Amino acid sequence: MRRRTALTAVVTVTTALALAGCGQESTDDPAPGQAGGKPTVCLVMKSLANEYFQQMQTGAVTHVKERNDLTLDSSGTQNETDVDGQVALVESCITKRARAIVIAPADSKALVQVVAKAVKADIKVVNIDVKLDDGALQQAGVEVPFVGPDNRDGARQSGKVLADLLGKGGKVVILEGNPGADNATQRKNGFNDAVSEGGLTLLDSKTAHWETDEANQVFASMLTAHPDIQGVLASNDSMALGAIKVIQERKANVKVASFDNIPAVKEHLQSGVMVSTLDQYGSKQAADGIDFAMKMIGGEQVTGWQKTEIKLITKDNVGS
Amino acid sequence: MAVLEVSGLTKRYPGVTALDAVDLDVRPGEVHVLIGENGAGKSTMVRCLSGIERPDAGGMTLYGERYQPDSAADALQAGVRVVHQELALLPNLSVAENLFLHHLPHRAGVVDRSALNRMARDLLTEVGLDLSPRTPVERLGIAQMQLVEIAKALSGQCRLLIMDEPTATLTPKETGRLFEILRRLTATGVAVIYISHHLEEIFEIGDRVTVLRNGKHVTTQEVAGLTTAELVRFMVGRDLAHEYPPVRPRELGAELLRVTDLKITPAAPSLSLAVRAGEVVGVAGLVNSGRTEAMRAIFGADRSASGRVEVRGRPARLRHPRTAVRAGMSFLTEDRKAQGLVLDLSIAANMSLANLPAVSRFGLLNRAAEAASASALAEKLRVASRGVRQHVRALSGGNQQKVVLGRWLAADTDLLIVDEPTRGIDVGARYEIHQLLLDLADAGKGLLVVSSDLPELLGICDRIIVFSRGAIAGEVPRAEFDAERVLNLAYSGYLKGVAV
Amino acid sequence: MTAVTAPRAVGGRWASQVLGEAGIGVALVALVAFFLAFAPYFGTSQNVRDIMTQITINTILAVGMTFVILVGGIDLSVGSVIALCAVVAGTAMTDSGLPTALAVPFAILVSVVIGAVTGFVNGFVTERWVVPSFIVTLGMLYVARGAAQQYTGAATIYDLPPGLTRFGTATFAGLPAVFVVAMLLVAVAWFVLSRTVFGRLIYATGNNEEAVRLSGHRTSLIKVACFVIGGACVGVAAIIYMARLGVASPILGQGYELNAIAAVVIGGASLAGGRGSVVGTLLGACLLGVLSNGLNLMGVSDFQRTMVTGAVIIVAVVLDAYRRRLSVRLS
Ligand SMILES: Nc1ncnc2c1ncn2[C@@H]1O[C@H](COP(=O)(O)OP(=O)(O)OP(=O)(O)O)[C@@H](O)[C@H]1O
Ligand SMILES: [Mg+2]
């Protein structure tokens, strides 16, 4: 009986897959990637649960409405590190025969393979947010333009504000993002640049996985272990918020330099506990990427790193 | 050379010495019976022999070789096969898979199902279980499970067979069959250690008998030449004048329970019965004759049943045991381990489970009151324990049975349905439990007593309802009590089936 | 042998009781001693207060989880449900226009009700269709997370009433106020589990559901109630989170369910149900909290900290299992 059930299951699944395959072929679009004459551009993002990517998507949608010469097909993964999920998203873009793909890779190396597949399928690919690994791209034999901010430079700028304030010998700690994430590495490098350029003393550097609660705990221990901390370099605003709670609770004289510029930090910039954060105009990034993608569809050659605007935010320009 | 030689076997549990330097020798081809009161140490002996417990002292030899099993697998390897007192089948697997779990027939690692089912069917036929080997074990009644356990012990090579109360839930038909198998086995030189509280069985199948009391070896004798009275004296250290307490004539009161057109499943025959206040109604029948299912249905334990149940003239719905308990019913289940005991709770907690309002106020437990009422019951039922705070898991089988029984005595409902009430209980305590049941009837309660032990029913009931093949085949009043008559009724449904 | 037997080996029984009750406490004491010796500042009153604050949320979640695990269930959705509770209750405070004195109680009510309702759904579906709670709550994990994101459009909620955030940093008799809340919850849960009929039925149901049902109790009701309690605790934890950190984000709480389950199991509970205690759970939460705090203070690197945490969890439960056997032998 059990064996028969297994057999039935196998037959059912096979049939279902076969039917699905047929269905796909029969509905195949005669003019691939053109809906109503407009080219389709796929926007593949990381987790839309992240406020940052949410803004990016909103920006892209608005921008596309303004341009009105393409159809946008945007999608995001379940979480920031869902590499498999993102590969599947790109694959479905290839299947849908999009004309171009704009992608914010969840991993700078793991996505190269499928991106190369897209390029070879004659789909224009524009890389935004985190740069795909050069070595891996070279190995795959493809070239993909990168449109995005310079995270390292941004972090250096934000950190410099703190360094200037504290002066030589100022004692600081770094709160890192997810170990292994490219933007986390870039920001950490940028902060380290600021530390060495400004002659600061780095007491500790630990990850709090981008999270408020964890940053709160990690920084509390740091401050206990080093009561003389003068500054925190937080790789994103969520972690900065967690650290600021500790600072307020202990009435410590510690300043924070951060990154992202989410609305929740505005009051802290005004109150002075946060001295700087960095806006990389996430909402514009995807829009820029789409612009470049359209140029490429139009036959233009786009290569290399097209840096997007970043802006240092301090008490002076945060507004009220 | 002896098959098994045990010398100075000692096993201590916290607060109790379960086995105290016990010697035992078992000869080839003999059925060696082990008897003793509840908690005497019989099952502990079995657990030591089967590698489940490691003795604290003493040695064992099997066919002259040192025998020191560290696990059940070791015992199996040595050809020691065991039927434990408590059932240990895997409910989600089929009967066949349970039977051959340790040595599934396979081809290159893939289970050979046709061979498995063929072998299983042969074994089942041997123990007289008419059942598809593919049936999941969870669908079986307790007697059927017991037979599967027996069949399992017979599956494969065996030098020493140990059976701990295999017949506690079986009817004479299955027991007879089991004895035939045992005789066949012993004829080939296999030795059997056999434990039972049914003393008459000892005379039928036993060659020698060893008596344990409080963990100590009392005597080992040839069965031939012994009398029941002598056995009892060895076991309990005193004489038992009567096997059953006297049944005093009782004034029957109002009708307590009336069951009309009860159907276990839509296609099943419809059942009707009634119990009056002060009446002890026996329920007899063969294994799987539908007795237990009917009781469960009356109690609302299974949803699929239909029909009318009235308690004191008021309809009680067959939806949930809760309604039954509220209406004033108690139900002692046949399978104490699966359906009765909460093994990791104390004796007191187990006894109060159906009577929590009495030991609590505003939802708060009064633990002192709970302990007091449990102590009183434990005393009455002679539960051998280190006190009512002890976990039920550490009790011997018979004492566990007393605990579940105590739960329903505590609930003090008008109507008690008891399924195999004396399962695993020793002769001494049996008498007292029978007395307790009769006292309840004297106090105006109604009792439905299901038992596979016909003499028990004949001993204490006012009338006996006989089930056969899912239907009520007839009823015998006390005045006409006769074992033959009951048995004929019990078989009647099946004979009709053959005649058609 | 009769029902009454004289107590024997009194000393052994006492030792067994200490071992049996103190449970994971032995491992905790060892860990504390270790950090006192090797982690600078570990014993300072500031740091002790930090630890208390840091274990508050996990303790509250784990207390709720204890109820669920005792009846043989599991709740994987707490990490998501806490986010849902927080964002909805947070919005209730920032957007309702109520004065703080009303907004905060209202938010607490909202949060606890949302938690309890998700708990009810978890329990009801599990019981009504007899499906594993593992899968039902896994589904709820996604549903609640999605709902939280949908509700806020992924935005972080801030500007919570200062009254609430002041409570988050307030102290009560020298102890963090939020920690006191957690301790109160532990005390109530302990009382319910060990002193009430309901608590008794919880243990009994976790142990042998059929026996309890056949004794005339509605076990489904008991089990669903445990899920509801678990959910309500999540609602409380959400409020504590906002009080402490002053923000609520739809992505908060990822992985909290595993921390809560770990605390319960380290505390000696059986995942099969029927065995465990809130005191054990509290000790389990303390162990996890002390471990992470102490390793941070020692300046152990991120990767080593992760490894050590895992290893200590394993060692702790192995010790616990060994201790339990020892206590049985001594009794
Ligand atoms: N796991 C255990 N922990 C503590 N005590 C135990 C344990 N198992 C058995 N005992 C005790 O050992 C004694 C002997 O128990 P055992 O099960 O061997 O009795 P038995 O002769 O099989 O009785 P019964 O006829 O009731 O089955 C009892 O007093 C019992 O309480
Ligand atoms: Mg026994």
Nearest Cα neighbor of C52 from C290, C298, C303 is C290
Token representation of residue B57: 């002292």
Ligand 1 pocket check for B402: Cβ under 6 Å: no
Q: Where are the domains of chain B?
A: 4-236, 255-491
Instruction: Please name the residue that has the structure tokens 């709480």.
Output: C253
Average pLDDT value for residue range C65-74: 97
* Confidence (pTM): 0.88
Residue A4, min C-alpha distance to chain B (Å): 12
For the stretch B97-134, pLDDT in tens is 999 988 888 888 898 899 999 999 999 998 888 889 99
Check whether residue A137 and residue A155 sit in a common domain: no
Q: From atom 5 of ligand 1, which residue's Cα is the shortest distance away?
A: B394
Name the one residue in this structure whose structure tokens are 């589990």. C193
Q: What is the DSSP string of chain A?
A: -HHHHHHHHHHHHHHHHHHHHHHHHHT--SSTTEETTEEEEEEEES-TTSHHHHHHHHHHHHHHHHH-SSEEEEEE-SSTT-HHHHHHHHHHHHHTT-SEEEE--SSTTTTHHHHHHHHHTT-EEEEESSPPPHHHHHHHT----EEE--HHHHHHHHHHHHHHHH-TT-EEEEEE-STT-HHHHHHHHHHHHHHHHTT-EEEEEEE-TT-HHHHHHHHHHHHHH-TT--EEEESSHHHHHHHHHHHHHHT---EEE-SS--GGGHHHHHHTSEEEEEE--HHHHHHHHHHHHHHHHTT----SEEEPP-EEE-TTTS--
Is B138's pLDDT higher than 50? yes
Which chain C residue's Cα is nearest to B359? C197
The percent of residues in chain B predicted with pLDDT above 70, rounded, is 99
CA of A7, closest CA in chain B: separation in Å? 15
Contact C323, C26 (CB under 8 A): yes
Q: How many CA atoms lie within 13 A of A87 on its CB side?
A: 14
Residues of C near B (Cβ–Cβ under 8 Å) read 1-5, 7-9, 12, 16, 195-201, 203-204, 207-208, 210-218, 274-275, 328-331
Residue B159 has a CB neighbour count (10 Å cut-off) of 16
Contact A220/A246 with Cβ under 8 angstroms?
Answer: yes
Domain B255-491 has CATH 3.40.50.300: yes
Distance from CA of C241 to the nearest CA of A (A): 8
Instruction: Give me the long-range contacts of C320-326 (CB less than 8 A, separation at least 24).
Output: C320/C23, C320/C24, C320/C27, C320/C266, C320/C268, C323/C19, C323/C23, C323/C26, C324/C19, C324/C20, C324/C268, C326/C16, C326/C19
Contact A43, A290 (CB under 8 A): yes
* B299 to chain C: closest CA residue: C214
pLDDT in tens, C273-285: 999 999 999 999 9
What is the pLDDT of chain B when averaged over all its residues?
91
Strands (E), B130-199: 160-164, 191-195
How confident is the model over C295-306, as a mean pLDDT?
85
C5 confidence band (pLDDT: 50, 70, 90):
very low
CA of B396 to the centre of ligand 2 (A): 5
Average pLDDT over residues B248-255: 88
B343: nearest Cα among B381, B386, B397: B397
Q: Give the pLDDT mean for C229-254.
A: 94
User: Pairing between strand B57-62 and A38-45?
Assistant: unpaired
Residue B471 pLDDT more than 50?
yes
DSSP C274: S
| Gap between the Cα atoms of A56 and B480, Å rounded | 92
Q: Which of A208, A250, A219 is nearest to C297 (CA)?
A: A219
A100 in Cβ contact with A293 (< 8 Å): yes
For tokens 């910039």, what's the residue? Answer: A269
pLDDT reported for residue A27: 40
Which stretches within B266-366 are classed as H helix? 291-299, 321-327, 347-352
Counting atoms of ligand 1 from 1, which one is nearest the CA of B426?
25
| pLDDT (tens digit per residue) in A289-308 | 999 999 999 999 888 898 88
- CATH number for the C16-330 domain, one of 1.10.760, 1.10.10, 2.30.30, 1.10.3470? 1.10.3470
Residues 6 or more apart in contact with residue B379 via CB below 8 angstroms: C2, C3, C4
The number of the ligand nearest the C-alpha atom of C329 reads 1
CATH of B4-236, one of 3.40.50.150, 3.40.50.300, 3.40.50.1220, 3.40.190.10: 3.40.50.300
What residues contact B442, with CB distance under 8 A and at least 6 apart? Answer: B248, B250, B278
Tell whether A262 lies on the interface with C, counting CB pairs under 8 A: yes
Distance of alpha carbon B166 from alpha carbon B90, whole angstroms: 18
Q: What is the pLDDT of residue A316?
A: 92
Q: How far is B460 from chain C (nearest CA, A)?
A: 26
Domain with residue A287: its CATH number is 3.40.50.2300
Closest to B486 measured CA to CA, from B292, B285, B291, B287: B285
Helices and strands: H and E segment counts in chain C: 14, 2
Predicted confidence band at C301 (pLDDT cuts at 50, 70, 90)?
A: confident
Query: What is the signed CA dihedral for B418, B419, B422, B423, rounded to 10 degrees?
Result: -160
Q: What are phi and psi of B17, to 5 degrees?
A: -100, 105
The residue count of chain B comes to 500
Q: How far is CA B420 from CA A49, B105, B464, in A?
A: 61, 37, 14
Asked if B46 contacts B84 with a C-beta cutoff of 8 angstroms, the reply is yes
Residue B348 near residue B341 (C-beta atoms within 8 A)? no
- Residues sharing a CB contact under 8 Å with residue B451, sequence separation 6 or more, in sequence order: B282, B283, B284, B420, B421, B422, B457
ipTM comes to 0.89
**Which H/E stretch holds residue B5?**
strand B4-13
Nearest-CA neighbor of C82 among C224, C245, C257? C257
From residue B486, alpha-carbon distances to B253, B460, B491, C66 in Å are: 26, 15, 9, 53
Give the integer Cα–Cα distance in Å for B302 and B179.
35
> Which residue range forms the structural domain that includes residue A263?
151-279
Neighbours of chain C (3+ CB pairs under 8 A): A, B
Task: Give the pLDDT of residue A34.
Answer: 55
Tokens of residue B337, six digits: 């381990």
Residue B16: in which H helix or E strand, if any?
strand B16-26
| E strand or H helix at B257 | strand B255-263
Residue B42, ligand 1, Cβ within 6 A:
yes
Query: Can you give the pLDDT at residue A15?
Result: 62
CB atoms within 10 A of CB A269: 22
Asked if the domains at B4-236 and B255-491 fall in one CATH topology, the answer is yes
**B-C C-beta contacts closer than 8 Å:** 108
Residues A122 and A41 in one domain: yes
Per-residue model confidence as pLDDT tens digits over B5-30:
999 999 999 888 999 999 999 999 99
The parts of chain A modelled with pLDDT lower than 50 are: 1, 23-31
Looking at the structure, do residues A180 and A262 belong to the same domain, yes or no?
yes
Does pLDDT of C6 surpass 80?
Answer: no
Which residues are bridge partners to A40 per DSSP? A71
Give the C-alpha separation, C133 to C68, whole Å: 10
Tally of domains in chain A? 2
CB-CB neighbors (< 8 A) of B134 in chain A: 1
C13 to chain B: closest CA residue: B14
Please state the atom number of ligand 1 nearest to the C-alpha of residue B398: 26
Is the domain of A267 the same as that of A297?
A: no
- Residue B3 main-chain phi, psi, to 5 deg: -70, -50
Q: Give the pLDDT score at C15.
A: 62
Are the beta carbons of C83 and C144 closer than 8 angstroms?
yes
pLDDT mean over B284-292 = 90
Same domain, A253 and A273: yes
Considering only CA atoms, give the Rg of chain B: 23
> How many residues in total does chain A contain?
320
Measure Cα distances from A152 to A166, A190, A285 in Å.
21, 4, 16
Residue pair C113/C218 in contact by the 8 Å Cβ criterion: no
Q: Helix or strand or coil: residue B112? A: coil
CB B185 within 8 A of CB B192: yes
- Closest C-chain CA to B41: C1
Neighbours of B317 (CB within 10 A): 11
Confirm whether A216 is domain-assigned: yes
B38 lines ligand 1 (CB under 6 A): yes
A274-279 vs A255-257, strand pairing mode: parallel
Q: Is residue A202 part of a domain?
A: yes
Q: Which whole number is the average pLDDT over B322-328? A: 92
Burial A23-39 (b: 16+ CB within 10 A, else e): eeeeeeeeeebeeeebb
Ligand 1 atom closest to the Cα of residue B401 is 26
Instruction: Compute the distance between CA of residue A43 and CA of residue A26 in angstroms, rounded to an integer.
Output: 26
Q: Would you state the pLDDT for residue C328?
A: 61
Coil, helix or strand at residue B462 = coil
Residues A17 and A143 in one domain: yes
Mean of the pLDDT values across residues B127-144?
89
Going by C-beta distance under 8 Å and a sequence separation of 6 or more, which residues neighbour residue B408?
A: B330, B331, B332, B354, B416, B418
User: Do B119 and B73 contact (CB within 8 A), yes or no?
Assistant: no
What pLDDT is stored for residue C10 in this prediction?
45
